[in-house]
Each structure stands twice: as structure tokens, then as C-alpha cells.
């Protein structure tokens, strides 16, 4: 604490990202990165783009990439907003669509950046408890509110809410913006983008960090009615005109164009997820059905924090949240088949000596 900090800086409880350790090499299953490299076409384009043009600012309106993303989803570039990772897009959403006095709604077990942004931008919120199976109680999102935001599939549970339910929430909230954070949608769920034509209050947020293997390049985007996109533009242009750099714009363009690589890598992750889920159940875990690139699981005999520590000692990093309701769960990112085999073997060893 410093006397020079503003009241906001003093009172904030910042988001804590998953660790990126530098002490040794771990099997890293803790931050939902993609285990496969970016498309070779992305890497080639980035090498070619490292040229003297880097002295120039990038395109502040990102027209070409917005057009490409629009094409992928059969939308116009006016329906696409880009940001430096979807975390930044989400921050702009809080400023563009939510007001301090009207509480927004999000689940109690969810992406922990939402309460951080609410605090930072002084937006009141109500956290709505998920049921005992971590399902979203749709009826609780139909009451008067200042906005709705949740991930689908949810984080850190991986649980997917069907589009019928998403639609019910949209129908009952004509006066507030409903933000669906689809960071993990490419791993099995159906995107709410298909509902966009009917709902001017729907904003879908996605990222290149997970399904397109580009967490290091920082590219996120929002899809919605052009009036919502224009609101985001107003906020962005009051903040930083150049949120995406020249390399990010080029890498993202090549990633969205390489559909074959995208389908191949996400299908591999889905297959591995299903195999690992079955294997974990055999080891005595209760596994939440996942449509994401991670698994959320709890063990009947062995406490999650003990498993977390023992796995870490054996060079495997998973995510443990010391939070109400989920402090006996681990979130395990899906790695390559070889990484997951190593993880499963170590988990089995730990359970056999701790669980007996
Ligand atoms: C990973 C994640 C994001 C952020 O991704 P960026 O790397 O900032 O694009 C947003 N929402 C959820 C739920 C996530 O898990």
C-alpha cells in the first residue's frame, strides 16, 4: 500500500492469473492454453511481417481483420469489434453497457474477472448461485437488472447452457445487454451468434487465445448489433486507438483463414477431453461434463489442494481455486495425449498413496 495510490488503486482486489512459472519446465495444464502450436501459416506470416513497416502505427479501425472475422460468421465488419485479448473487450463492455446504480447479474461460480471489473468501474452486481450440479438457474436471470454476463461454456466448470436457455434470457431482457463470453465455444457448444439477427441486446465475446492457439498474441473480439459495436468503439477510442498491433492483426487474419487447421486441432482436443474424462472417472473422480478445453473434477477421497500440491511436486501444474463451493475441485486443461497420459499416471500414483 502506498499513500500515492488513488482510492481505486488502494481498494482494488486485482484478478490473479494462473501461474507462468520460470523455475523449471512443467506439464502446464493450468491456464487453458492450447497445447498445439498456432497454424504454420500464422507463424510464416508473422516472420514475413517483421519488417520496417513496424515503425508505422497499425490500422486503428482494424478493417481487414474485422471483415475476415465477419466473413467467418456471415456478418458485416460493422458487427465486429476487436480488442487486445477478450479481457480487454470485456472491460470495455463494462464501461459501454453497464451503469453503477443498476445491478448486473452473473453466476456465483464464474470467470473471476467479472467481479474485478465491476469493482474497478463501480458497477453494482448480484451473483446468482448455480445449482448443486453447477447448472445456471435460467429463471434467476429473467428479473429486472442492469445487464447480464456469463461464459458459455462456463468457467471454471466447463458446463454448457443450451441455446434455448440463452434465448429465454435474451427474450426476457429487452432493456439490458446480455453478454455471452464464448471463450470456449469452439470445443463443443453452439455459438449464440446464430441468435444475433433477432436480438439487438446480444453481445457475443470470443478470443483467439484458446481454440486458435494465440494466447501470446492477445486478440479478442465481440460480435453484435452495430449499435452495440459503436458503443464499444466510443469507449475504445477514449482509451487507446491502437489496441491491436501490426503483428497481431496479421497473425489473427491468417488464423481465421486456416479453417482446416482450426478444425483439426480443436477436434483433437475434444477427443482427448472425452478420453481423459472417462479415465478420471475410473480413478474415482466426479467430472463435470465439459464442452471446453478443460475438465473440472473432484475426488471422493483425496482433497483437491493436496492433489494440486503433489502434482506440482511431480512437475504437473493444474489450477486450484481456494474459493467457496469449488475449493475441493481441480481445473485441468486438456494438453496433448502424451501430456495427459503423464498427468493421469501421476494422479493415479498420488491417489493410491493418499487415498488408502
Ligand atoms: C481465457 C478467458 C478469457 C480471456 O481470454 P483472452 O486471452 O483475454 O482473450 C475470457 N473469458 C473467459 C471465460 C476465459 O476463460
How does pLDDT run across 18-57, given as a tens digit for each residue? 888 888 899 999 999 999 999 999 999 999 999 999 999 9
Tell me the C-alpha to C-alpha distance, in Å, between residue 45 and each of 145, 218, 297.
45, 16, 39
Distance CA 203, CA 193 (A): 8
How does pLDDT run across 203-244, given as a tens digit for each residue? 999 999 999 999 999 999 999 999 999 999 999 999 999 999
Give the residue, out of 111, 205, 291, 296, with the most ligand 1 atoms within 8 A of its beta carbon, to mutate for a pocket test.
Answer: 111
Q: Is the CB of 183 under 6 A from ligand 1?
A: yes
Q: Can you tell me the mean pLDDT for 322-333?
A: 97
Output the average pLDDT for the chain.
Answer: 97
pTM: 0.97
Which of 42-48's residues contact partners 24+ apart within 8 Å by CB, and which partners? 42/214, 42/251, 42/254, 42/255, 42/258, 44/254, 45/250, 45/251, 45/253, 45/254, 46/247, 46/250, 46/251
Q: Can you tell me the mean pLDDT for 134-156?
A: 98
Distance CA 252, CA 231 (A): 23
Q: Is the CB of 181 under 6 A from ligand 1?
A: yes
Q: What does the DSSP assignment read for 146-204?
A: S-EEEESS-TTT-----HHHHHHHHHT-TTS-EEEE-TTGGGTPPPGGGGGGG-TTEEE
Q: Residue 20: which residues within 8 A CB-CB, separation 6 or more?
A: 31
Q: Residue 46: which residues within 8 A CB-CB, separation 6 or more?
A: 247, 250, 251
Q: Is the CB of 214 under 6 A from ligand 1?
A: no
Chain centroid, CA 141 distance in Å: 21
How does pLDDT run across 82-139, given as a tens digit for each residue? 999 999 999 999 999 999 999 999 999 999 999 999 999 999 999 999 999 999 999 9
Chain centroid, CA 341 distance in Å: 25
Instruction: Tell me the domains of the chain and their CATH numbers.
Output: 7-37+260-354 (3.90.1150.10), 40-258 (3.40.640.10)
Neighbours of 37 (CB within 10 A): 12
Give the residue, out of 106, 112, 209, 213, with the most ligand 1 atoms within 8 A of its beta carbon, to mutate for a pocket test.
Answer: 209
Amino acid at each position: 500500500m502506498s499513500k500515492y495510490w488513488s482510492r481505486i488503486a488502494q481498494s482494488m482486489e486485482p484478478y490473479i492469473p494462473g501461474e507462468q512459472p520460470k523455475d523449471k519446465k512443467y506439464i502446464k495444464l493450468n491456464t487453458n492454453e492450447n497445447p498445439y502450436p498456432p497454424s504454420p501459416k500464422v507463424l510464416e506470416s508473422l516472420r514475413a511481417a517483421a519488417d520496417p513497416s513496424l515503425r508505422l502505427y497499425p490500422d486503428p479501425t482494424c478493417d481487414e481483420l474485422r471483415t475476415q472475422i465477419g466473413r467467418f460468421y456471415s456478418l458485416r465488419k460493422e458487427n465486429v469489434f476487436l480488442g487486445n485479448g477478450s479481457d480487454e473487450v470485456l472491460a470495455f463492455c463494462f464501461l459501454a453497457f453497464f451503469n453503477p446504480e443498476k445491478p448486473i447479474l452473473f453466476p456465483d461460480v464464474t470467470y473471476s474477472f467479472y467481479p474485478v471489473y465491476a469493482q474497478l468501474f463501480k458497477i453494482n452486481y448480484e451473483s446468482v448461485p448455480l445449482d448443486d450440479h453447477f447448472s445456471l438457474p435460467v429463471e434467476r436471470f429473467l428479473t429486472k437488472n442492469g445487464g447480464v454476463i456469463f461464459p458459455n461454456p462456463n468457467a471454471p466448470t466447463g458446463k454448457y447452457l443450451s441455446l434455448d436457455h440463452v434465448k429465454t434470457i435474451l427474450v426476457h431482457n429487452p432493456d439490458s445487454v446480455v453478454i455471452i463470453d464464448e471463450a470456449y465455444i469452439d470445443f463443443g457448444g453452439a455459438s449464440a451468434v446464430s441468435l444475433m439477427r433477432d436480438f439487438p441486446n446480444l453481445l457475443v465475446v470470443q478470443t483467439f487465445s484458446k481454440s486458435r492457439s494465440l494466447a501470446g498474441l492477445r486478440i479478442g473480439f465481440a460480435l453484435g448489433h452495430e449499435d452495440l459495436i459503436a458503443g464499444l468503439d466510443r469507449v475504445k477510442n477514449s482509451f487507446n486507438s491502437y489496441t491491436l498491433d501490426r503483428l497481431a492483426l496479421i497473425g489473427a487474419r491468417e488464423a481465421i483463414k486456416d479453417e482446416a487447421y482450426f478444425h483439426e486441432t480443436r477436434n483433437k482436443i475434444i477427443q482427448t477431453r472425452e478420453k481423459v474424462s472417462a479415465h478420471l472417472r475410473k480413478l474415482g473422480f466426479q467430472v463435470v461434463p465439459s464442452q471446453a478445453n478443460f475438465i473440472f473434477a473432484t475426488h471422493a477421497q483425496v482433497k483437491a489442494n493436496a492433489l494440486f500440491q503433489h502434482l506440482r511436486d511431480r512437475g504437473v501444474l493444474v489450477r486450484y481455486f481456494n474459493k467457496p463451493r469449488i475449493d475441493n475441485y481441480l481445473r485441468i486443461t486438456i494438453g496433448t495425449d502424451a501430456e495427459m497420459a503423464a498427468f493421469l499416471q501421476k494422479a493415479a500414483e498420488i491417489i493410491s498413496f493418499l487415498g488408502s
